[in-house]
Amino acid sequence: MHPTTIKTYAERAKLHPNPTARRLLEIMERKKSNLAVSVDVTTVKEVLDIVRSVGTKVCCVKTHCDIIQDFTLDFAKELVRLSQQMDFIIFEDRKFADIGNTVTLQYSAGLHRISSWADLTNAHPLPGPGIISGLSSVGQPLGRGLLLLAEMSSKDNLATGQYTTEAVQMARQAGRGFVVGFIAMNRVDIPSPVSKIQKVNGMVNGHGHGNASVNGNGNGYGGDKEMEDYLILTPGVQLSKGGDTLGQQYRTPHQVIFDSGCDVIIVGRGIYAVKGKEAEVAEEYRKAAWEAYERRLRC
């Protein structure tokens, strides 16, 4: 059993150093929801209609702001207002993938000014740690959070094996202030052998300091308070297994939360494509994912 999966979301919220991760975990507990809705529609009206109908069921609303044809910062302001009123966080699924200097600008400037309204965003680790440094220079002072794409849900994607392992290492090297977790299909943050040794002996590298850092920056495991805690958000979820015609692969809420130990399911078409019944269907997903979490805790 992974050490993180036996704790409640509330327990994890208390210890988390990042304000966005803390708020997300608190919302999850308060609303009994580990469901994120992905609102992949192309007008402001459609996005807001869906958010208004399912906002009370979800802990997180995920956007793709570059597909919204009439995007304005007023729309973003309204989304932020709804996030406060209906109690969810906003996750812009931007998947940054460039050098540090460019992503800094893509995150803070342009038409979308993502950092001004999105609590959470994500990035490919592909360009190396500079992408985290660039994004954190903008996001960390604002209390934002970043997820690294350690795995993907699409068929035959290249984010596997060593790439996934190195994504997790990159997050650990970056420290705990800004990188709050991963987009992944599994609990990819398996404790490293060094961390296990440290937990048993209370020392690293033979120096005998109980709270010493694994990576030299004070961000390794060092006693329970210092225990790392990554959020795993997982797309590719529907109520039954399957896929679409373009390589998307679906698993069920139970498979994702119970079998794989992930934290949050991300559901797009499973909710917003069921026109007129979005709230009812969202409730089904919320219930299924929450029951899977409660069962996992009882194991």
Judged by the rule CB under 6 A, the positions of this chain that interact with ligand 5BU are 38, 40, 64, 93, 149, 152-154, 183, 235-236, 248, 266-270
Q: Active-site residue among 93, 119, 189, 229?
A: 93
Q: Active-site residue among 49, 66, 87, 98?
A: 98
Question: Closer to ligand 5BU at the Cβ: 153 or 195?
Answer: 153
Please tell me the distance from the alpha carbon of residue 28 to that of residue 35, in angstroms, as a whole number.
Answer: 8
CB of residue 273 to ligand 5BU, shortest distance in Å: 7
Q: Is 98 a catalytic residue?
A: yes
CB of residue 34 to ligand 5BU, shortest distance in Å: 15
Question: Closer to ligand 5BU at the Cβ: 182 or 290?
Answer: 182
Q: Active-site residue among 32, 95, 199, 287?
A: 95
CB of residue 238 to ligand 5BU, shortest distance in Å: 7
Binding-site entries for substrate: 40, 62, 153, 248, 268-269
CB of residue 198 to ligand 5BU, shortest distance in Å: 31
Q: Is 95 a catalytic residue?
A: yes
Q: Is 189 a catalytic residue?
A: no
Question: Closer to ligand 5BU at the Cβ: 38 or 136?
Answer: 38
Catalytic residues: 93, 95, 98
